[in-house]
Structure 1
């Protein structure tokens, strides 16, 4: 059984971070995270328990992000336009070191599929199988998008990518 309060307390930060790296917008990530938990609560009776709760929540979050971009027609934009600028407040800029800012800008410049694969595999440390389950892809697609994304990320960082 899905217990909203408990799972929100345990998983909200991870869902927020996942959505932040997809959107690079603090307020939007917060809104989509809230929507994720609302939809999870509404669908709690359909949760079969065969997947990890966090995997189930990330899948819901991914679907909500896709829905948001479709409504805004941004998926098409993200696929065609690879140079997306991150807008950060002055306060946020003060707290983010130069290297992190450059990395975030490089990640934001990636195609959405590359970004999602890298966020799940390299930032959140999920296995190929776990990422495939969340993204609704086969494992080969996860592996290919991760590898291609890392190459694109390395290029965006001027060849300076550790790890």
Structure 2
């Protein structure tokens, strides 16, 4: 039963998780991270209490996987800077690598990445993944009011940032 259910979830939600992680951490090894989400789901399947939808539960796991990946990348950069890393070249993520987005979408992507984490989290869940306030609140471990307020502020900040970018060109 577990294997069949996880397989069905993978079929239904892997694209959503992939897109979430692309926006959350950027390009690079996202396919591996999607697999990591489902590995963690299998390992913690017994803790899934079915108080939420499988999609919401998997996205909360994806958020934790994303946080872990960002931490790992920061440690790698620090080690590289202080010379503790091998001299092998690092893969640089360029906007062209990120889903071959249009020029405006590239700017939007970079602007979302530059926002503070709370704004980025709520924007990805509400605007990009189109989750409800309650689903977003559950994933972020926030109350619904905080989701609404933070989302509103994030949209205002994103709008101001994008306005500045568009006028610079």
Alignment CA distance shift 1:96-1:136 (3 Å):
same
Aligned length: 148
The answer on whether the counterparts of 2:57 and 2:139 sit within 8 Å (CA) in structure 1 is: yes
**Aligned CA distance change for structure 1 residues 19 and 95 (closer, same or farther; 3 Å):** closer
| Kept after mapping to 2: 8 A contact 1:22/1:116 | yes
Partner in structure 2 of residue 143 of structure 1: 148
Aligned to 1:45: 46
Aligned-CA RMSD value: 2.4
Structure 2, gaps ≥5 residues long: 76-91
SS in 2 for 1:56: helix
For residue 98 of structure 1, the aligned residue among 103, 118, 123 is 103
Structure 1: runs of 5+ lacking an equivalent: 75-85
**Partner residue of 1:6 out of 1, 5, 8:** 8
Counterpart for residue 77 of structure 1 = none
2:28 is aligned with 1:26: yes
Secondary structure at 1:158's aligned position in 2?
Answer: helix
Deviation (angstroms), 1:129? 0.9
Q: How does the TM-score come out when normalised to structure 1? A: 0.80
Query: Are residues 129 and 57 of structure 1, via their aligned partners in 2, closer, same or farther at CA, if it must alter by over 3 Å?
Result: same
